[in-house]
């Protein structure tokens, strides 16, 4: 009996030793690498350090957008009073047991309301997600919607209220930001102890109060950050753009790497360019993050820095915009709806590109414009506005007829052609090409398009000038417009192309849709000798290492025009502005309100008036155009003015040509260097200043 007891005891001792040895072998040998890595990760923490986003400059070096210091308020969940009660209901939605796993989240909703009886706040948290669930021996995907109702603990609500009062931020918005952070924690994209930004740009004094009295505001800390600043406010807002917080889908896509660059990856509270150059060149402007590897204690407080990789600044962008030309264009558009484009015809450099109404990017994200506003201040009409071109299309027909050798010597305009009326329905009598452009005779171009050229030739030349295709300017959202042709019409309407359709296209009406920037490209090609240049907004990108990138310098289409073609078109366009009978003469001739343009400025202008019918925001409207270049005999700038007039009843020569004059009389002299008459222009600028106008 004694020996049996000894044997049992030895077996138990040996068995226990074997179990301990087996467990130690498993932990140290089989899983040793895992636990070593886990211990290192607990002891060592890697943190990202922010960098400065690149600056945006105008052509003269003026700062249009830059980062300036600011302060945010962040909440740390695990340091808030009552944090377990606050966080547990939400995090449970993302951990539904070992048999389920969340695959993707389609939508997260957070609604913060006052608790019944005024006892703090309630949060309704909802998540629509796809779960991977085991059903028997199979795995199946299930789409479900989970909800959680959270009553914010009183001690937590009190500290949120206190911080909101200091930061002058809405407390419900702060709670919403916090619970959206918990959604990222539930996905495993953030740690529960990571700071969550709940109030942005709080100012120095609130930041100092919160930072110096941390014991009064447990769970909150001040984080230094950078605030995007636009010192010229609304100036060039559509070209520069604005920034907003990265969306959940964007964060999901770029949280590991942004366009292949890990240092430029996004964090949940990062901002991203939403429009203009800020969007188009967001990757270049965005600064690569630095990393700091630190040794931390159990409370994750930094003990020492092991490695510090400093952040690098983003690339700086220099635009072609001239701030004086841009200011002149925007001032001329004040109170109207439309767009103005001014560019160098020889190079395609955009000196000014204005769209009205405007917005102030400094108001983002606090007061973003209403996207449903019928006047659409976020809408860049220069590249997105689609309008019938009207009579300015006749310039393309004139070039086509001259190049094809099919110019009609003269016609007898009776005011009507196969049911289509001439301008104002009045006959012009005997008209040749020169008179047809100067007086904008529709009947001449009806016959030119139908009897001399034919629709295929008309479409071919319009395509050579760039209609129906994007210009390639460095801005997002550019529209290609529409250049109709017989095959397009049949695909769209199952109808044949008729002579009346050709008549409509001949005067820039019908189905034709053109952006103001496309129109500027047409005028530039006529001004520079037949080179359809690519409009350029970005002059150069200067990277952090000093290298310079020149984007968008190609894309010129050579029209290969005969030497005698364009001088005839130029002469007719000059007559539009300065000869009797010219449709645009009123804006440039002497009157009680204005001096004669040539006497006042020392050079002539070449232009073309244009008026087109359109439907704008569901109402009948008239589009007033004035396109041209100056000086007429030595083109330095090409320009386009496009104005929307709901209700109609206006003419491009009456509404758009005077706007063009206001832009040109404010051109800085550097745009006209070498053009005779600089002393006259200086006196004209002084007169404008004396009258209360603005002159550069």
Distance CA 696, CA 324 (A): 6
Q: Tell me, rounded to whole angstroms, the distance of Cα 35 from its chain centroid.
A: 48
Distance CA 427, CA 416 (A): 8
**Three-state DSSP class for residue 625:** strand
**Three-state DSSP class for residue 439:** helix
Phi and psi at 108, nearest 5°, equal -130, 130
Retrieve residue 460's tokens.
Answer: 């071919």
Retrieve residue 681's tokens.
Answer: 């222009």
The CA–CA distances, whole Å, from 202 to 70, 212, 233, 366 equal 8, 15, 20, 12
Q: Which residues contact 126 (CB under 8 A, 6 or more apart)?
A: 107, 108, 109, 110, 145, 146, 147, 148
Hunting for tokens 């048999």 — which residue is that? 99
Q: Which residues of 312-328 are buried (b: 16+ CB within 10 A; e: fewer)?
A: bbbbbbbbbbbbbbbbb
Phi and psi at 580, nearest 5°, equal -60, 135
Q: Are strands 63-75 and 338-343 parallel, antiparallel or unpaired?
A: unpaired
Retrieve residue 107's tokens.
Answer: 């939508």
What percentage of the chain's residues is helix, strand, coil (to nearest 5)? 40, 25, 35
- Adjacent-strand bridge partners of 130: 104, 143
Select which of 315, 355, 356, 391 is catalytic: 391
Q: Quick one: which H or E segment has residue 219?
A: none
391 a catalytic residue: yes
Where do the H-state alpha helices sit in 51-196? 83-93, 154-167, 171-187
Q: Which residues contact 327 (CB under 8 A, 6 or more apart)?
A: 235, 694, 696
Query: Is the backbone peptide bond immediately before 397 cis, with ω within 30 degrees of 0?
Result: no
Closest CA to 471 of 549, 552, 538, 398: 552
Contact 325, 345 (CB under 8 A): no
Find the radius of gyration of the CA atoms of the chain: 34
Closest CA to 587 of 571, 602, 604, 570: 604
**Three-state DSSP class for residue 678:** helix
Hunting for tokens 């138990």 — which residue is that? 12
CA atoms within 13 A on the CB side of 107: 9
Residues designated catalytic: 391
């Amino acid at each position: 009996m004694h020996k049996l007891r000894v044997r049992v005891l030895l077996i138990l001792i040996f068995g226990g030793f074997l179990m301990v040895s087996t467990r130690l072998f498993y932990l140290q040998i089989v899983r040793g690498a895992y636990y070593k890595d886990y211990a290192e990760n607990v002891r060592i923490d890697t943190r990202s350090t922010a960098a400065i986003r690149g600056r945006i400059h105008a052509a003269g070096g003026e700062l249009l957008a830059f980062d300036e210091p600011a302060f945010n308020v962040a909440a740390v969940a695990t340091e808030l009073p009552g944090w377990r009660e606050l966080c547990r209901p939400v995090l449970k939605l993302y951990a539904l047991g070992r048999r389920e796993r969340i695959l993707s989240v389609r939508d997260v909703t957070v609604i913060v309301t006052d608790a019944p009886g005024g006892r703090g706040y309630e949060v309704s948290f909802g998540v629509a997600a796809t779960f991977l669930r085991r059903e028997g021996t199979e795995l199946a995907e299930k789409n479900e919607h989970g909800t959680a109702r959270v009553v914010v603990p009183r001690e937590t609500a009190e500290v949120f209220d206190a911080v909101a009062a200091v930061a002058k931020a809405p407390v419900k918005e702060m709670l919403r930001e916090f619970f959206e952070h918990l959604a990222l924690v539930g996905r495993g994209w953030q740690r529960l102890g990571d700071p969550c930004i709940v109030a942005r740009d709080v100012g120095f004094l609130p930041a100092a109060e919160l930072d110096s009295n941390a014991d009064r505001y447990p769970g909150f800390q001040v984080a230094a950050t950078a605030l995007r600043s636009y010192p010229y406010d609304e100036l060039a807002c559509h070209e520069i753009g604005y920034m907003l917080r990265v969306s959940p889908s964007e964060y999901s896509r770029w949280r590991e790497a942004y366009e292949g660059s890990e240092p430029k990856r996004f964090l949940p509270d990062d901002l991203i360019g939403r429009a203009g150059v800020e969007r188009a060149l967001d990757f270049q402007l965005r600064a690569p993050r630095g990393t700091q590897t630190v040794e931390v204690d159990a409370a994750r407080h930094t003990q020492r820095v092991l490695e510090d990789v400093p952040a690098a600044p983003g690339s700086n962008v220099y635009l072609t915009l001239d701030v004086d030309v841009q200011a002149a264009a925007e001032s001329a558009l004040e109170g109207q709806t439309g767009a103005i484009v001014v560019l160098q015809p020889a190079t395609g450099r955009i000196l000014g590109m204005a769209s009205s109404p405007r917005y102030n990017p400094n108001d983002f994200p606090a007061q973003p414009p209403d996207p449903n506003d019928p006047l659409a201040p976020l809408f860049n009409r220069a590249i997105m506005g689609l309008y019938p071109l009207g009579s300015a299309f006749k310039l393309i027909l004139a070039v086509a007829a001259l190049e094809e050798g099919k110019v009609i010597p003269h016609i007898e305009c009776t005011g009507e052609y196969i049911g289509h009326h001439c301008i104002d329905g009045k006959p012009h009598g005997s008209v040749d090409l020169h008179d047809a452009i100067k007086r904008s005779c529709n009947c001449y171009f009806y016959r030119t398009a139908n009897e001399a050229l034919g629709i295929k030739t008309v479409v071919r030349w319009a395509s050579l000038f760039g209609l129906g295709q994007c210009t390639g300017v460095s801005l997002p959202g550019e529209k290609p417009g529409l250049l109709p042709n017989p095959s397009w019409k049949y695909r769209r309407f199952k109808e044949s192309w008729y002579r009346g359709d050709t008549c409509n296209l001949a005067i820039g009406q019908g189905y034709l849709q053109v952006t103001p920037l496309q129109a500027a490209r047409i005028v530039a090609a006529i001004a520079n000798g037949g080179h359809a240049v690519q409009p350029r907004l970005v002059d150069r990108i200067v990277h952090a290492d000093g290298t310079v990138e020149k984007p968008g310098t190609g894309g010129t289409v050579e029209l290969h025009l005969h030497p005698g073609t364009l001088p005839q078109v130029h002469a007719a366009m000059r007559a539009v502005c300065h000869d009797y009978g010219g449709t645009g003469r009123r804006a440039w001739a002497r009157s009680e309100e204005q001096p004669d343009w040539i006497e006042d400025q020392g050079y002539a202008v070449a232009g073309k008036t244009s008026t087109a019918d359109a439907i704008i925001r569901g109402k009948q409207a008239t589009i007033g155009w004035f396109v041209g270049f100056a000086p007429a005999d030595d083109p330095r700038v090409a320009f386009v003015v496009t104005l929307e007039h709901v209700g109609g009843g206006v003419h491009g020569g009456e509404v758009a040509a005077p706007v063009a004059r206001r832009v040109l009389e404010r051109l800085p002299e550097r745009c006209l260097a070498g053009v005779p008459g600089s002393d006259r222009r200086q006196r004209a600028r002084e007169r404008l200043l004396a009258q209360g106008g603005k002159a550069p």
